[in-house]
């Protein structure tokens, strides 16, 4: 009978919080079944089982902080003659062995009551989420160890609020249109945990940040000609440079020149934090929703290196192989619909950032050159920014500087 240790896979250097335990001791599970959910600052990750078997022992609790290689569970590799009765005989609850069970529980309860009057057990992430949504933590009884308030406790309250609002809106719609929703045929689609978190973050961003979106376009004809020539002459045909790599490099230069777009606003609104590092996140569409891996150390990377990193991030995002460290420390975000279509859109800011650039599909436009109309490759883009920090004139100067550099790639060499 083999016992397999289950450890946290390589998630980078970050410690993450156990937010859900999806199995119990004695549960029979299959390979790739999810065992628990861990959560960092910007994403959640389900930890799958590498084997089939029966949960033998769970070494962690909800709220525990874990990191790469932390031992979280033991799984008994499933045998034909194994059964749950043997497991129950092997693991007898401690309190069933204690002769002073009632006395012990009473002391434990009294101690917790005294301690809880002075402290609220929760994580910084939960406290921030509570502040954003105006939730009084002192009025919540957490479901975690020692009544620790978990993120799931807050999400439940937030979702109930939203359900109430949606229900009210649906009722009004029914009255206006004399419409009975229950008579319609429909299919239900389960929303993933990551997508739920994304939805909440997007809603909070839209509620709490006064968005302004500026629409513009830039001539990338010379840039596209150069890019295509380079790719044709490149020795490695699989490593083609993309237009997005030029955008990222140009953004790095532009954000150095206009640091307010590389800042954050303090929670009390009294300070602006100008960030010394410029780390650009790239929004990637996956089956589980959007993820935003972050390009770092851009000062020391050329266009080819940036392009290779973008391609690798895109592949790992869709395969679910990103590390938590890949998603951390972004200061500005780029999101692109160029491969799909559209002429303009309004991207939503990724807090605590204050700006996001949206790229649409390149189009051919006739441009007057003082003599005749000539075809030019035009890239439409949208800049959304936090109006608490950025005003329209500053944003316009930023986009003009960005256009000058992307329009003539020789500026990238200066």
Q: Which residue has the tokens 């992307």?
A: 406
Find the mean pLDDT for residues 67-73.
90
Can you give the length of the chain in residues? 414
The pLDDT value recorded for residue 413 is 61
In this predicted structure, the answer to whether residue 358 has a pLDDT above a threshold of 70 is yes
Whether 3-91 shares its CATH topology with 122-208 is answered no
Total Cβ atoms within 10 A of residue 399:
19
Would you identify the CATH topology of the domain 3-91? OB fold (Dihydrolipoamide Acetyltransferase, E2P) (2.40.50)
The pLDDT value recorded for residue 11 is 77
Read off the pLDDT band of 163 (50, 70, 90).
low
> Out of 314, 361, 387, 389, which one is annotated catalytic?
387
* Contact assessment for residue 364 and residue 375, using Cβ atoms and an 8 Å cutoff: yes
In this predicted structure, the answer to whether residue 171 has a pLDDT above a threshold of 90 is no
The pLDDT value recorded for residue 372 is 93
Average confidence score pLDDT of the chain = 81
In this predicted structure, the answer to whether residue 54 has a pLDDT above a threshold of 50 is yes
List the structure tokens of 173.
């719609």
**How would you classify residue 391: left for phi > 0, otherwise alpha for psi between -120 and 50, otherwise beta?**
beta
CA pair distance 295, 333, nearest whole angstrom: 10
Output DSSP code: residue 338: T
User: Is 387 among the catalytic positions?
Assistant: yes
Find the mean pLDDT for residues 317-333.
88
**Per-residue pLDDT tens digits for 239-284:** 789 899 999 999 999 999 999 999 999 888 889 999 999 999 999 9
Query: Which carries the bigger pLDDT value, residue 7 or residue 82?
Result: 7
**Per-residue pLDDT tens digits for 275-318:** 999 999 999 988 777 889 999 999 989 999 999 999 999 888 88
- Domain map (residue ranges) of the chain: 3-91, 122-208, 212-413
The pLDDT value recorded for residue 46 is 79
Specify the 3-state DSSP secondary structure of 389: coil
In this predicted structure, the answer to whether residue 43 has a pLDDT above a threshold of 70 is no
Beta bridge partners of 358: 335, 382
Q: Where are the beta strands (DSSP E) in 175-247?
A: 211-219
**Per-residue pLDDT tens digits for 181-230:** 566 677 778 777 777 878 888 888 998 899 999 999 999 999 999 999 98
The pLDDT value recorded for residue 42 is 60
Q: Are strands 65-66 and 211-219 parallel, antiparallel or unpaired?
A: unpaired
Output DSSP code: residue 101: H
* Contact assessment for residue 77 and residue 49, using Cβ atoms and an 8 Å cutoff: no
Residues 6+ apart with CB under 8 A from 47: 6, 8, 9, 34, 35, 36, 37, 38, 72
CA pair distance 187, 178, nearest whole angstrom: 22
Read off the pLDDT band of 168 (50, 70, 90).
low
The shares of helix, strand and coil residues in the chain, as percent rounded to the nearest 5, are 40, 25, 35
In this predicted structure, the answer to whether residue 111 has a pLDDT above a threshold of 90 is no
Residues 6+ apart with CB under 8 A from 88: 26
CATH class of residue range 122-208 = few secondary structures
In this predicted structure, the answer to whether residue 87 has a pLDDT above a threshold of 70 is no
**Per-residue pLDDT tens digits for 113-129:** 433 444 676 766 677 77
In this predicted structure, the answer to whether residue 85 has a pLDDT above a threshold of 80 is no
- Domain over 212-413 is classified CATH 3.30.559.10: yes
In this predicted structure, the answer to whether residue 100 has a pLDDT above a threshold of 60 is no
Maximal CA-CA distance, the chain: 99
List the structure tokens of 335.
């999101």
Q: What is the DSSP string of 124-186?
A: HHHHHHHHHTT--GGG---SSGGGPBPHHHHHHHHHHHHHHHHHHHHHHHHHHHT--GGGS--
């Amino acid at each position: 009978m083999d016992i397999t240790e289950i450890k946290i896979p390589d998630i980078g250097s970050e410690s993450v919080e156990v937010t859900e335990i999806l199995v119990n001791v004695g549960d029979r599970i299959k390979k790739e079944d999810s065992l628990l959910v861990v959560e960092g600052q910007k994403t959640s990750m389900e930890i799958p089982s590498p084997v089939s078997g029966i949960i033998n022992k769970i070494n962690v609790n909800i709220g525990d902080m874990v990191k790469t290689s932390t031992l979280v569970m033991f799984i008994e590799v499933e045998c034909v003659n194994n059964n749950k009765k043997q497991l129950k005989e092997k693991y007898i609850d401690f309190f069933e062995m204690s002769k002073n069970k009632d006395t012990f529980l009473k002391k434990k309860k009294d101690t917790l009551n005294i301690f809880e009057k002075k402290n609220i057990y929760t994580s910084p992430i939960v406290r921030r989420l509570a502040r954003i949504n105006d939730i009084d933590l002192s009025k919540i009884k957490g479901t975690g160890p020692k009544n620790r308030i978990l993120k799931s406790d807050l999400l439940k309250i937030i979702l109930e609020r939203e359900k109430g609002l949606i229900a009210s809106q649906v009722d009004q719609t029914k009255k206006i249109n004399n419409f009975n929703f229950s008579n319609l045929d429909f299919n239900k689609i389960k929303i993933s945990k990551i997508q739920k978190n994304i939805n909440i973050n997007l809603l909070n961003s839209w509620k709490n940040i006064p968005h302004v979106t500026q629409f513009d376009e830039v001539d990338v004809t010379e840039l596209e000609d150069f890019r295509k020539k380079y790719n044709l002459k490149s020795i490695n045909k699989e490593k083609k440079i993309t237009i997005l790599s030029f955008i990222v490099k140009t953004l790095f230069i532009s954000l150095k020149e206009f640091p307010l777009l590389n800042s954050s606003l303090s929670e009390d609104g009294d300070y602006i934090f100008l960030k010394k590092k410029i780390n650009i996140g790239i929004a990637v569409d996956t089956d589980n929703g959007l993820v935003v891996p972050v390009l770092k150390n851009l000062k020391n990377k050329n266009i080819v290196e940036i392009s290779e990193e973008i391609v690798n991030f895109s592949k790992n995002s869709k395969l679910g192989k990103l590390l938590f460290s890949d998603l951390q420390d972004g200061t500005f975000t780029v999101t692109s619909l160029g491969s799909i279509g559209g002429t303009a859109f309004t991207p939503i800011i990724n807090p605590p950032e204050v700006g996001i650039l949206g790229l649409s599909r390149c189009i051919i436009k006739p441009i007057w050159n003082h003599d005749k109309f000539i075809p030019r490759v035009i890239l439409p883009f949208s800049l959304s920014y936090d109006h608490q920090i950025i005003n329209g004139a500053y944003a316009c100067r930023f986009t003009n500087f960005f256009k000058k550099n992307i329009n003539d790639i020789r500026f990238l060499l200066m």
